Amino acid sequence: MSFIKVFFISLALALPSATLAQGFEVAFGTSQENSDLPVEVNADSLSVDQENGTAIFRGNVRIKQGTMRMSAPEVHVFYNDSNSGIARLEGFGGVLLVDGPDAAESKDAVYRVEDSIVVMTGDVLVTQGTNTLQSQRMTVNLETGTAQMEGRVKTIMRTEDN
């Protein structure tokens, strides 16, 4: 293999680039120990529909579970069949998820509390220290602390010198 080919292959591997694969797995958050903790929700207003087991929080919505934080302008809460706990939360209009040193933002997100899965969709941006990842969809498994990125994944990885 010629020096020029080796140089360009090495350069391509070293430079930030758009990942061509459909999926990309990364570590995310430190919530493994948080999944059984209570979910606390704060907002400017709340409307509850007892018949279908839902609640709508609006305005400056802040959700906390252990070290995990989630915020959005509006969040719909769906209770499980027995109304004894939260089955899932759906955030709309710009969602921010922070867990330990990691942060992610997207247009919308669904947090399935019962299986500790968060699915963020629409212009997902993840920040981990000085590195960033972008995609159209990210599925975070809070039990394992991993995330699957899908839909034209772009990564920017910086060395400590940059």
**What's the predicted TM-score (pTM) here?**
0.76
Tokens of 66: 């252990």
Contact partners, residue 63, CB within 8 Å, separation at least 6: 39, 40, 41, 42, 69, 70, 71, 75, 89, 111
pLDDT digits (tens, 9 = 90+) for 41-86: 899 999 998 888 889 999 999 988 888 899 999 999 998 877 677 8
Domain 17-156 CATH class label: mainly beta
> Please, what is the end-to-end C-alpha distance for the chain in angstroms?
31
